[in-house]
Amino acid sequence: MAYRNLAKKSRRGPTAPMKRFIDLETKNLNSEVIKTTNSFSDEIKTISSFSTDHPLTNSQENQKLNQYENKVKGRFDNIVPLLKRVSSLQNDLNFVERAQNLCRSELGYELPLHILEKAWVGSIDISALFAWCVFQSHQLTSNEFFNSDPIEGSENSQYAKSFQSFLYQCGFHLLDITPCADGRLAHAISYALRIPFSSVRRRSHAGALFDIEKTVNRWIKTEHSRYRESTPNSATEPTRYLKSVIYHFSSVDPTHQGCAAHGSNDELAASEGLQRLLDFREAVENSFCCGASVDLLLIGIDTDTDAIRVHTPSKTNEVDLKSWVCANEIYKETQFLKAEEALQKIQENIKRVCPGETDPNMVMFITRLISNNISQIDYVKNFHSGSYQDAGHAERFIGVGIGFKEVHLRNLTYFAHLETVEQGAPDLDVGVKIFTGLNISRSLPIPIVIRFDYSGSVPHARNRALSDCHRINEAIKSRYRDLIDNGSLHTFLTIRDRDKKAPAEVVGSSLDPVTQEAH
Amino acid sequence: MAYRNLAKKSRRGPTAPMKRFIDLETKNLNSEVIKTTNSFSDEIKTISSFSTDHPLTNSQENQKLNQYENKVKGRFDNIVPLLKRVSSLQNDLNFVERAQNLCRSELGYELPLHILEKAWVGSIDISALFAWCVFQSHQLTSNEFFNSDPIEGSENSQYAKSFQSFLYQCGFHLLDITPCADGRLAHAISYALRIPFSSVRRRSHAGALFDIEKTVNRWIKTEHSRYRESTPNSATEPTRYLKSVIYHFSSVDPTHQGCAAHGSNDELAASEGLQRLLDFREAVENSFCCGASVDLLLIGIDTDTDAIRVHTPSKTNEVDLKSWVCANEIYKETQFLKAEEALQKIQENIKRVCPGETDPNMVMFITRLISNNISQIDYVKNFHSGSYQDAGHAERFIGVGIGFKEVHLRNLTYFAHLETVEQGAPDLDVGVKIFTGLNISRSLPIPIVIRFDYSGSVPHARNRALSDCHRINEAIKSRYRDLIDNGSLHTFLTIRDRDKKAPAEVVGSSLDPVTQEAH
């Protein structure tokens, strides 16, 4: 992103806001603040251009991210108004042509002919058209994401490269984050924490309760790469695997809009998230010798304001569930300070809530998270009146399977990360329940995008991903037979070669025309 | 096993047969034969005591293995005769007591009281009693296996330790074998190949078509342990991971009793097995740098005689599907030779069928397999008239899930290795079809043992294994509703902590008494 390269450009002839930040580095701050500030220097942020923004806020980045959010969500939100117009045309003699022209010019794609052509017989199947439009919108967004890296988080981006160095400076060779699968956390990485998506392993799970055995396997793969290939760094370097959990709560309606998996009970969400982290560490420590371990970080997020709370772990990995540093409070405490003073305050707060001796590397990392999150607090202030209108669920589709690297927008996708419906049915049932309220109550169907990522370098892996897609599709058809039968649930099957970093490939849909078999 | 330690005992005062073998080592054989012979020396076999046995046959081991087979299969085969007697008693006033006495004395366990006590009202539920007895027989056998290592293949056994050294001598740090899941191959490792079960990773799959992605993961785990923990040896040692597939065919009825997964087509079974091996190697080579690769070995087995055929791979891993060394032919060719001459002939044959330059280590390994298999050919000759009476399926129960390390007898278990019924349904359906023929046709139910092994050192892994068991049980109930409803399918739920190497734990059964809820 051009705006992320301002730091370098600025050095050749700094802009006014840039100069203010560079001044930070020359001031007589204590050494740790300087260390933290230095670590930011490569992708230093431009300081607020909104007069009310916090001095640490990257206002230009906020503008760009808002444009992206508006563009993508606009695609989905334009569907209903357009289909109302299509509906009003259905008795027109030139209906098909007029509908296609309208859709092409307003949404950028056509409607399926085999559905439009049936309109003259009875009434048009608007429900099927709605699902079609959702799937097309998803596909356009997905293609754009893999083709042009609109939020500039791919591993080739400058931002990702510099963030990766920052991670090493903090002593971490891998960052593995599990947010709750709730659609209101789908933007947690790229927006709320401003971490380039390629710098983090994201595995969303209901209640942030990740699978221990699978995460241990992921840890093994990472360590094996370090030993064999020195990727991301050599196993001889004393860096750590950082596993983080993001639980969530609601400041506006705490008893109803918190985490459904924990009955909107914040304390439970935090304690179960921490327990899962501790269990993971114990699994690694018990299963491997030679001091094998991981670092842990527990984060909470307010789904109304996107403000995070971080439970600072001590040097010996103690975590206090009742003690955290809250980005929102820090925001208020520091909004009228200079940037360097604000950073210092952040560090003080981080240290204050630590239940033991602090680890300077961890403090540096959390300082970055809080500082990044301050931009997001201003994002929500500026573009969502300080608190999201859609306090509850407002996802546009359900994503089922393995993948969806491209989803980074709040309330775009309810994600059921699963390999089989048999294992993932509870998560999927919650998704169907949510969409019964969101869509079926408005006579609109539930759109489900199925995705299986595969590794193209493994022989026949594409075929297996294809079979997985169809297997899941059949399992969904069997589990939600009534919804399928009355056209209230549609599926869209996609696979993606993660080695090629190419867009996903569409391999089927419940909206495909039924081919008559010859007799 | 005492008989496996004969070599050491013999050195203090060799028996006549031992002396014959020791003479081998002093003879002026070519160096490779000596090398091979030396590698056998630690667990050297006693030479045939059956006058007709092949000079390389370990007759005493055959006797012991036959005793084990008879004991275990006897447990299952005594069930029907006993239940016929129980059935004849059902109108007796002292029925419960007499039935229990009979069962206790003949089978070694009691029948479930809540089923017996209903007998006076109508007729006794013999079908449920049959399933109960199968489950008890399995449990007794399973406990015995983990408690007393009856076939002496555990990692603490002398045989396993010496076989492991032999593997290193052959240049392999891990032996990973996939036989077909067909019950007629359940004894392939411990009987047909005489490999200690703890020295091999066994993953049975229908048609021997193992899962590439999971096997790559297993390879990663192995390599990671070598790098991190020098287990089983250090990554700096130039040893290899050997992946082998065992396909099968029938010499007695080749077009009907071959591998069902390949339509009883031997060529197809071999070529698809080889393709899977090549795909696995390609996946490893494409996914990792630094010369990552694996060695491959394709083996066929005749399910009537247990004679194997081995497709000798060349030094550069070429394999010829049409060229193999057949243990049965070698048996005939060498049965009247001296042991050392027989070994030399084996080596010559192994080299002759190789499609390129031979790898001496691989020749040494295959020589061992063929030599071991000659014992099994005599086993089938002596105890099964040279060809099994049960040419087709005759399994006693279906094993579903992850585990069953204790099953090493031919036609004891039809194995559906699966994590979910959703993914493993095709294999399970085949099992149910087989048992429809074997049991339901005789008005006996299908007994399914569910097993999930877990790693007790991972927090809450036991709970997850328990949930997995119940999930699979529910999925089976849902898939085979009609069979369940009329009592024609029973399940037995077990879990096992693989870290403790302890027996499995029974955690439920469809035969448990139904507890009435209070109102």
When CB atoms are compared, the residue of A223, A278, A421 closest to B422 is A421
Secondary structure of residue B276 in the 3-state scheme: helix
Could you say which architecture CATH assigns to the domain B153-383?
A: 3-Layer(aba) Sandwich (3.40)
Please calculate the CA angle B158-B164-B168 and round it to the nearest 5 degrees.
Answer: 145
> What span, in angstroms and rounded, lies between the C-alpha atoms of B433 and B414?
11
B396-509 CATH pick, 3.90.870.10, 3.30.1330.140, 3.30.56.10, 3.40.50.150: 3.30.1330.140
Torsion of CA A367, A371, A377, A383, to 10 degrees: -150
| β-pairing verdict for B201-202 and B172-179 | parallel
Determine, for residues B464 and A282 on separate chains, whether the beta-carbon distance falls below 8 Å. no
User: Which of these ranges, A3-12, A190-199, A252-261, B480-489, has the smallest mean pLDDT?
Assistant: A3-12
Give which of A495, A466, A420, A509 is closest to B425, Cα–Cα: A420
CA distances from A422 to A481, B350, B419 (A): 15, 47, 10
Mean pLDDT computed over B145-172: 96
pLDDT at B51: 65
Determine, for residues A459 and B283 on separate chains, whether the beta-carbon distance falls below 8 Å. yes
Which of residues B512 and B3 earns the better pLDDT score?
B512
When CB atoms are compared, the residue of A224, A287, A288 closest to B223 is A224
Q: Which two tokens mark A460?
A: 């026949």
Q: What is the chain B residue with the closest CA to A223? A: B224
| 8 A C-beta contact, residue B400 and residue B428 | yes
Determine, for residues B229 and A279 on separate chains, whether the beta-carbon distance falls below 8 Å. no
Whole-number percent of chain A with pLDDT over 90? 83
Q: Which amino acid is at B318?
A: E
Catalytic residue among A149, A182, A306, A453, which? A182
Torsion of CA A26, A31, A35, A40, to 10 degrees: -40
Residue B121 banded pLDDT, cuts 50, 70, 90? confident
Which of residues A269 and A17 earns the better pLDDT score?
A269
Mean pLDDT computed over A206-233: 95
> What span, in angstroms and rounded, lies between the C-alpha atoms of B48 and B132?
41
Tell me the per-residue pLDDT of A74-119, one tens digit each, with 9 for 90 and over: 999 999 999 999 999 988 889 999 999 999 999 999 999 999 988 8
DSSP state of B261: G
> What span, in angstroms and rounded, lies between the C-alpha atoms of A506 and A451?
9
CA distances from B57 to A432, B17, B21 (A): 64, 11, 12
> What span, in angstroms and rounded, lies between the C-alpha atoms of A317 and A357?
10
Would you say residue A31 has pLDDT above 70? no
Give which of A307, A306, A343 is closest to A55, Cα–Cα: A343
Please calculate the CA angle B19-B24-B29 and round it to the nearest 5 degrees.
Answer: 165
**How confident is the prediction for chain A on average, in pLDDT?**
90
Mean pLDDT computed over B481-503: 96
Tell me the per-residue pLDDT of B173-196, one tens digit each, with 9 for 90 and over: 999 999 999 999 999 999 999 999
Q: What is the 3-state secondary structure (H, E, C) of B332-392?
A: HHHCCCCHHHHHHHHHHHHHHCCCCCCCHHHHHHHHHHHHHHHHHHHHHHHHCCCCCCCCC
Q: Which two tokens mark B434?
A: 């087989």
> What span, in angstroms and rounded, lies between the C-alpha atoms of A202 and A174?
11
Q: Which amino acid is at A294?
A: V
Indicate the domain borders of chain A.
157-384, 392-509
Determine, for residues B422 and A475 on separate chains, whether the beta-carbon distance falls below 8 Å. yes
Catalytic residue among B53, B125, B176, B182, which? B182
Name, in order, each residue with C-beta under 8 angstroms of B472's C-beta and a sequence gap of 6 or more.
Answer: B400, B401, B418, B420, B421, B450, B452
Would you say residue A180 has pLDDT above 60? yes
- To the query of whether residue A378 is one of the catalytic residues in this protein, the response is no
Residue A94: exposed, middle, or buried by beta-carbon count in 10 A (0-12, 13-18, 19+)? exposed
Q: What is the chain B residue with the closest CA to A218? A: B217
Residue B282 banded pLDDT, cuts 50, 70, 90? very high
pLDDT at B518: 63
Per DSSP, the residues of A417-454 read: E-S-HHHHHHHHHHHHHHHHHHTGGGT-PEEEEEEEEE
Determine, for residues A227 and B229 on separate chains, whether the beta-carbon distance falls below 8 Å. no
Residue B91 banded pLDDT, cuts 50, 70, 90? confident
Determine, for residues B227 and A235 on separate chains, whether the beta-carbon distance falls below 8 Å. yes
pLDDT at A2: 37
Residue A517 banded pLDDT, cuts 50, 70, 90? low
pLDDT at B116: 93
ipTM: 0.86
Give which of A466, A462, A471 is closest to A497, Cα–Cα: A462
Q: What is the chain B residue with the closest CA to A476? A: B422
Would you say residue A27 has pLDDT above 50? no
Name, in order, each residue with C-beta under 8 angstroms of A136's C-beta and a sequence gap of 6 or more.
Answer: A107, A109
When CB atoms are compared, the residue of B228, B282, B458 closest to A213 is B458
> What span, in angstroms and rounded, lies between the C-alpha atoms of B61 and B1?
9
> What span, in angstroms and rounded, lies between the C-alpha atoms of B108 and B176?
37
pLDDT at A51: 65
Mean pLDDT computed over B426-449: 95
Residue B50 banded pLDDT, cuts 50, 70, 90? low
A157-384 CATH pick, 3.40.1050, 2.60.40, 2.40.50, 3.30.1490: 3.40.1050
Residue A519 banded pLDDT, cuts 50, 70, 90? low
Q: Which of A212, A228, A450 to mutate to test the interface with B (most CBs of B within 10 A)?
A: A228
Mean pLDDT computed over A504-509: 98
Contacts of A458 in chain B (CB under 8 A): 212-213, 216, 279, 282-283, 286-287
Per DSSP, the residues of A322-372 read: T--EEHHHHHHHHTTS-HHHHHHHHHHHHHHT-SSS--HHHHHHHHHHHHH
| β-pairing verdict for A489-497 and A505-509 | antiparallel
Tell me the per-residue pLDDT of B191-218, one tens digit each, with 9 for 90 and over: 999 999 999 999 899 999 999 999 999 9
| 8 A C-beta contact, residue B173 and residue B232 | yes
**How confident is the prediction for chain B on average, in pLDDT?**
90
| 8 A C-beta contact, residue A407 and residue A415 | yes
Contacts of A279 in chain B (CB under 8 A): 458-460
Which of residues A217 and A40 earns the better pLDDT score?
A217
Is CATH 3.40.47.10 the classification given to domain A392-509? no
Determine, for residues A229 and B288 on separate chains, whether the beta-carbon distance falls below 8 Å. yes
Mean pLDDT computed over B372-382: 98
pLDDT at B517: 64
Tell me the per-residue pLDDT of B314-360, one tens digit each, with 9 for 90 and over: 999 899 999 999 999 999 999 999 999 999 999 999 999 999 999 99
CB atoms closer than 10 angstroms to residue A263 = 11
pLDDT at B26: 32
CA distance A107 to chain B (A): 38
Residue A73 banded pLDDT, cuts 50, 70, 90? very high
User: Which of these ranges, A133-137, A159-163, A389-393, A477-481, has the smallest mean pLDDT?
Assistant: A389-393
pLDDT at A291: 87
